[in-house]
Amino acid sequence: MRWARLPRVHRGARVLIIAVLTLAGSAADARSQGATVKKIGKAIERTAEARAAAKATSQYDDTFKKYSKRYFGPAFDWNHFKAQSMAESNLDPNATSYVGARGLMQLMPSTYKMIQTKRPEFGAINDPEWNIAAGVMHDRYLWRLWSKDVTESERFKFMYASYRIIDHLTPQVDFPEELKRGNIAVAIFIAALFLSIAIIVGNALG
């Protein structure tokens, strides 16, 4: 049996076929290169995001160090206040809570105004530097408040627990003024409240 002879391909057709195959190969290469470029672009984006996050996380470190040293002394670990701010506002200077606490350290406006009476140079509550300064200063007040009755190892829990709880629960009561007046009921309420919170926080921290 003889095989049928295949027709000869015209030279022009051969050139066309070669051109089509070349174009098809080029298109495949282009798609491959496009995918590679996309991968590189995404990697660059992830790197940029990581750098931005690292920068944002360390953006206020110098301010935390400055006011930690001013109000607690050079030996005190400033990271306590940075961690507090991360928990309070996620280091967002424009953060506002549902009860109205504002800024990096989530201070109530009434508390901030009270602090401003002693530090009139403090500017707007949302200004990162002044918010941190006021927050650390407020922490110092609370730290000293518990110094006579609580050991230093336990004082952190009391300080953090009492940081905003009074303003949040009863913002209409001026607790510092009531304590100055010798309001025993308020004093008992505060002691019971703080003790309960400290026990809860202490158990949570292990």
Last residue of a domain, one of 58, 92, 107: 58
Exposed e or buried b per residue across 23-50, where buried means at least 16 C-beta atoms within 10 angstroms of its C-beta: eeeeeeeeeeeeeeeeeeeeeeeeeeee
Same domain assignment for residues 78 and 162:
yes
**How confident is the model over 125-149, as pLDDT tens digits?**
999 999 999 999 999 988 988 888 7
Same domain assignment for residues 52 and 69:
no
| Site of tokens 């050991």 | 151
Same domain assignment for residues 31 and 70:
no
Same domain assignment for residues 176 and 76:
yes
Cα 72 to Cα 118: distance, rounded to the nearest angstrom: 17
Arithmetic mean of pLDDT, 78-85: 92
- What DSSP designation does 81 have? H
pLDDT at 6: 45
Number of independent structural domains in the chain: 2
**How confident is the model over 181-206, as pLDDT tens digits?**
666 555 556 666 666 555 554 554 45
Q: Which residues pair with 96 in a beta bridge?
A: 102
Cα 74 to Cα 206: distance, rounded to the nearest angstrom: 28
CATH of the domain at 180: 1.10.530.10
Amino acid at 195: L
Last residue of a domain, one of 12, 36, 58: 58
Same domain assignment for residues 91 and 152:
yes
Which of 118, 135, 193 shows the shortest CA–CA distance to 161?
193
Same domain assignment for residues 11 and 81:
no
Instruction: Give me the phi and psi of 175, to 5 degrees please.
Output: -60, -45
* pLDDT at 13 > cutoff 90: no
Cα 140 to Cα 136: distance, rounded to the nearest angstrom: 6
Q: How many residues are given for the chain?
A: 206
Same domain assignment for residues 101 and 172:
yes
Give the domain extent around 167.
61-205
Same domain assignment for residues 139 and 41:
no
* pLDDT at 24 > cutoff 90: no
Same domain assignment for residues 48 and 68:
no
3-state secondary structure of 165: helix
Cα 163 to Cα 168: distance, rounded to the nearest angstrom: 10
- Percent of the chain predicted with pLDDT > 70: 52
Same domain assignment for residues 1 and 77:
no
Same domain assignment for residues 6 and 106:
no
Same domain assignment for residues 9 and 92:
no
Cβ neighbours of 156 (radius 10 Å): 17
Last residue of a domain, one of 14, 38, 58: 58
Give the N- to C-terminal CA distance of the chain in Å, as an integer. Answer: 92
- Report whether 133 contacts 122 (CB < 8 A): yes
